[in-house]
Chain A
Amino acid sequence: MKRERLKEAFERKKRFKSKLKTYREKPIPEKTPDVPKGLYEKCNGCKTPVVVKELIQNRFVCPSCGNHFRVRAVDRIAITVDEGSFVEKGLGYITLNPLFQDHYEQKISEYKKKTNLDEAYVYGYAEIETQPCVFGVLDSYFMMGSMGSVVGEKVVKSVEYAMVKRLPLVLFIASGGARMQEGIFSLMQMAKTSGAIQKLHQQGLLYISVLTHPTTGGVSASFASLGDIILAEPKALIGFAGPRVIKQTIKQSLPEGFQTAEFLQDKGMVDKVVHRHEMKTTLSKLLSMHAKGGRA
C-alpha cells in the first residue's frame, strides 16, 4: 500500500515537472503589473501612478508635479476644516424625477451607493482654524456635482442658515452645471440661488466661493460667480460653456491654458489662485479679517 502511494506521488511529481517544462519553454508574455485597486491612482498631470497613501498625506496634490486631484466632499471637509468641528445640516432631502426621465432614479440610487451621499451637495457648521463659518461642498463624484432641485434647495438653505446664525459662508464648488434630467427645474435653481446670495449680501455677511476643478455651466453662472471673494485652485477648469462646445461652435482650436484658473485671474474674473496646501490658512485669514463686520 505504502509503496503504491509513493509511486503515485512520484508520478504526479514527474507530470508536474514536465508541465513546468512546457510552461517554461513558452515565451513569457509581457504583462503590465497587476496592481490591486485602491493602492495607486493615475495622475492626470504627469501620467504616473501615485501611491494613494502619499496622496492623502499630501492633501490630494500629486507629489511629483503638483497636479490637484479631484476631491470628494468628505475628503474636502477633512483637509479644510478643523478636525471634528464639522456638523452636517440639512439632511433628509430626496431627489425626485420631475420630468419622468427614464433611468434617472436608478442612476441616482447608484450614485448614492457609490458616494455614500444623499445628493451632490453637503453643508453644515464648521470651523477653519477656529474661525466659525457655514461650510458647503459640491461633490463632483456625484453626477458631476450637477445642480438639480435638491442641490439648489440645499444651497439656499445653507445661505439661510448663515443668515440666521450670522456666520460667513464658504462654498467649495465643483460642478458640471445644471442637471439635465430635471430640465427646467434645474434652470430655475440658478435664479433661486442667485436671489438667496443677494439676500446674504444685503445682510452684510461674507461669502467666499472657492472654484475647483471643474466649475462650468449653470453653477458658474449663478452662485459660484457671486462671491465677495472668489478663490480658485490651480489649473481648475472654470467657464460658462465647456471647451468642447466652444470648439464646435467657433470651429477653431482653443489657446493653451484657456479657461483655467490662471487664465481667469489674468482676465480679472478670479481674485486669487490658491494652492491647496495654503487654502486653509488663506481662508482662516480672510475669515478673521471679516469677523466683527471687518473691524477686527
Chain B
Amino acid sequence: MNILDKEKKLEALEKELSRLDDEDSIQDIRIKIEDYKRRAMRNLTAWDRVLLARHKKRPTAKDVIDNVFNDFIELHGDRNYGDDKAIIGGIGKIGGHVVTVIGEQKGKTTEENIQCNFAMPHPEGYRKALRLMRQAQKFNRPIVTLIDTPGAFPGIGAEARGQSEAIAKNLYEMSQFGVPILAVIIGEGGSGGALAIGMGNQVFMLENSIYSILSPEGYASILWKDSSLAEEAAESMKLTSYDLKELDIIDAIIPEPVGGAHREPPKVYRAIQSTLIQALAYYDQQSPYEIKTGRYAKYRNIGFFQRFNYDNLKGVVK
C-alpha cells in the first residue's frame, strides 16, 4: 500500500467528516484521522517520496513564486533563440531583499504540461536562466532557484542546439558568480537538468522531494535491465532528502506537513520563505569573493573515494 492509496483513504475519512453534523461522531472521526496520520502517513519509504514528489497537486514553481515572493515580474527569453516555458525567471522581493528567481515549471493539467514540456527544459531555457543570472551578478542580486524537473529534454532540436553545451556553460558560469545562489528542490530533481540551475552556495530540499542522477525507472532499466524494479531502485539510490542530508549533498531539509506539501501549501510557503530569508541574511555579511570561493570549495570537496601514496608504501611492500 503506497502513499497514494493511503491518501485516498484519508480523503474518504475527511469527506465523511464534512457530511456529519452531530458533535460526538465528528469528534470520533477527528481522532480517527489524527490517529491514521500518525500511524500510516509517517515513516515513508523512498518510493512514497518519489510518488509525492511527482504528485499532480504538488505546488509548482509558479505557486511557490506567487506565494513566497512579492512583486514578482517575469522576464522572458534567452535573446538568442526563443522563450522556453519550462523555465520561468524574473525578479522578485523577499524579506527586504531583491532577488532573481529562476524556476522549473511543471503543469497541473495535461494542457499546461504540454505547454511547459513537462518541465523538461530545452537549451534555450538554460540559456535564459544564464542570462538572468548574469544580470543578477551585474546588479549584485542574490539568485534563488526552484528545481522541479524530471531532467533536461532529450529531443532532436535540443541536441541540435547544444543541450550539453548549455548545461556545461551554466555550471561553468555558476561557479564564478559573486552573488549567493540558493537552490531549493521543490519536487523532482532529475540529473543534469536539475543541477544546471542547482549549483548553489546552499541547497535546500523539501522533505518529500527527490534529487537523483536519473529517474528510478531509468536506473532500474540501465542497471538491472528491468524498469519495473523502480521501487527497489528508489530505495537503493539514496534520493530522499534525509539520505542526501546524511551524505552532505544538501544543506537543510525544509519540513512538509503530514501527507505532502499539497495538503497544506501555505505552511510550506512559510517554511520556504523563512529558510530563504535566513540564508540571505547570512550571505549579506559576506563579500563576493567569500561567496565565490565558498561555493567553489563546496563542490571541489564533494567526492567519495580513497587515496594512498605509492611512495609511502615502498618501504612496506617489496
Asked if A195 and B296 make an inter-chain contact with CB atoms under 8 angstroms apart, the answer reads: yes
- Among the stretches B12-20, B21-29, B103-111, B234-242, the one at the interface with A is B234-242
How far is B263's CA from A119's CA once the two chains are assembled, in angstroms?
A: 47
**C-alpha spacing A188/B194, complex, angstroms:** 11
Chain A contact residues: helix, strand, loop or mixed: helix
Contact at B162–A267, with CB atoms within 8 Å? yes
Within 8 Å of chain B (Cβ to Cβ): is A203? no
List CB contacts (< 8 Å) of A210-228 with chain B: 217-218, 220-226
A99 contacts the other chain (CB 8 A):
yes
Contacts of B310 in A (CB 8 A): 91-92
User: Are A241 and B300 in contact, with the CB atoms below 8 A?
Assistant: no
Closest to A99 in B: B238
A240-B163, A246-B159 known; A192-B300 Cβ under 8 A: yes
A187 sits at the interface (CB 8 A): yes
Asked whether, in the complex, the Cβ of B158 is within 8 Å of the Cβ of A240, the reply is yes
Contact A184 B156 (CB under 8 A): no
- Does chain B have a CB within 8 A of A185? yes
Tally A residues with Cβ within 8 Å of B: 62
CB-CB nearest in chain A for B302: A188
Given A195-B171, A196-B300; A246-B154 close (CB under 8 Å): yes
**Least Cβ distance of B310 to chain A in Å?**
5
Number of CB contacts from chain A to chain B under 8 A: 175
Chain B 183-197 interface mask (CB, 8 Å, partner A; 1/0)? 000000001100110
Cβ of B315 < 8 Å from any Cβ of A? no
Q: Which of A180, A188, A221, A258 contacts B299 (CB 8 A)?
A: A188
Residues of chain A within 8 A of B162, CB atoms compared: 225, 267-269
Residues of A within 8 A of B244 (CB): 184
Binary contact track B68-97/A, C-beta < 8 Å → 1, others 0:
000000000000000000000000000000
Give A195 to B214 CA distance when docked, in angstroms.
22
Closest to A187 in B: B213
B249 at the interface (CB under 8 A from A): yes
Contacts from B to A (Cβ < 8 Å): 152-156, 158-165, 167-169, 171-176, 191-192, 195-196, 199, 211-214, 219, 222-223, 236-239, 244, 247, 249, 296, 299-300, 302-310
Chain A residues within 8 Å of B, Cβ to Cβ: 91-96, 98-101, 148-150, 152-153, 156, 178, 180-192, 194-199, 202, 217-218, 220-226, 239-241, 245-246, 249-250, 252, 254-255, 258-259, 263, 267-269
